[in-house]
Amino acid sequence: MGEFVGAALSFPAVLFSFLLVVVVGYWLLVLVGLSEIDLPGAPDPDGIGLGGVPLTVAVSVVTVVAWFLALVSGVLLDDLGLAGALLVIARAVALVVVLVVALLVTRLVVIPLRKAFPEDAGPKRADFVGLVCVVRTGSVDRTFGQAEVTSVDGSSAVIQVRQPGVEPLRAGSTAVIHDYDPVGEFFWITPVDLTPLADPRDQPRPRD
């Protein structure tokens, strides 16, 4: 047992040992209902083949695989009897190899997992264009602002918004989402008044 703990706390395994504790803690919270699995985000923003599944799932697989490989590599390096600068270089090279192999293995694991997380599992950002939102921050201008929007399926989300007008929108104001900026990752909104127009028939009649 002592040898195992020593191997887990040696470099490079120690880097992934702490990450593994975080991953295990997260999934324990999911099991007891104190946390939820996030929905898949962008298909694969970094082009490393890990898209199509929740980020927490991909990170968890990478962490577990990297920890195991780092643990094995640490034991093998100890058996070689290296010392000094040569041992430091060997462990640094092992860290790079572990990360590369862990990513490759995770890419293979992710392929079948994508079927369990369809891309249409939740509303996409483009689905918000054309909907009405409510300003939740103190104001919204060209550089800052957040608003709450309710999608067609009834779920709500707080999004980053901007508006091109001179006068900033205040908290509680209603606006229509008319465009999305993929670079800044925010929505352009235009204020709209949803107050129903008064019916002329409801106006008080002048007395005779």
Domain holding 170: CATH number? 2.40.50.140
A 10 A CB-CB count for 69 gives: 22
| Residue numbers of the domain that contains 54 | 2-120
Q: What is the pLDDT of residues 48-62, one digit of tens each?
A: 566 677 778 888 899
Residue 83 and residue 164 in one domain: no
pTM of the entire predicted model: 0.51
pLDDT tens digits, 127-179: 788 899 999 998 898 888 999 998 877 888 889 999 987 777 888 889 999 99
DSSP sequence for the chain? -HHHHHHHTSTTHHHHHHHHHHHHHHHHHHHTTSS-PPPP-SS-TTSSS-TTS-HHHHHHHHHHHHHHHHHHHHHHHHHHT--HHHHHHHHHHHHHHHHHHHHHHHHHHHHHHGGGS-GGGS--GGGGTT-EEEE-SSEE-SS--EEEEE-TTS-EEEEEEE--SSSPEETT-EEEEEEEETTTTEEEEEE---PPPPPGGGSPPPP-
- In this predicted structure, the answer to whether residue 79 has a pLDDT above a threshold of 80 is no
Do 101 and 138 fall within a single domain? no
Q: CA-based diameter of the chain, in Å?
A: 110
* Residue 101 within any structural domain of the chain: yes
Same-domain check for residues 55 and 143: no
Total structural domains in the chain?
2
132 lies in the same domain as 162: yes
pLDDT score at 38 = 57
Last residue of a domain, one of 91, 120, 149: 120
Position 49 scores a pLDDT of 60
Question: Is the domain of 116 the same as that of 14?
Answer: yes
Indicate if 134 and 183 belong to the same structural domain: yes
Average pLDDT over residues 6-11: 71
For residue 162, tell me if it sits in a domain: yes
The confidence score (pLDDT) of residue 81 equals 73
Domain end position, chosen among 95, 120, 145: 120
Alpha carbon 10 to chain centroid distance?
Answer: 31
Last-in-domain residue among 120, 139, 159 = 120
**Per-residue pLDDT tens over the stretch 106-116:** 888 888 877 77
Task: Clarify whether residues 110 and 132 are in a common domain.
Answer: no
What's the rounded mean pLDDT across residues 5-20? Answer: 79
- Is there a single domain that holds both residue 6 and residue 76? yes
When pLDDT is cut at 50, 70 and 90, the band that residue 84 belongs to is confident
98 and 13: one domain?
Answer: yes
88 and 139 share a domain? no
Q: What is the pLDDT of residue 42?
A: 43
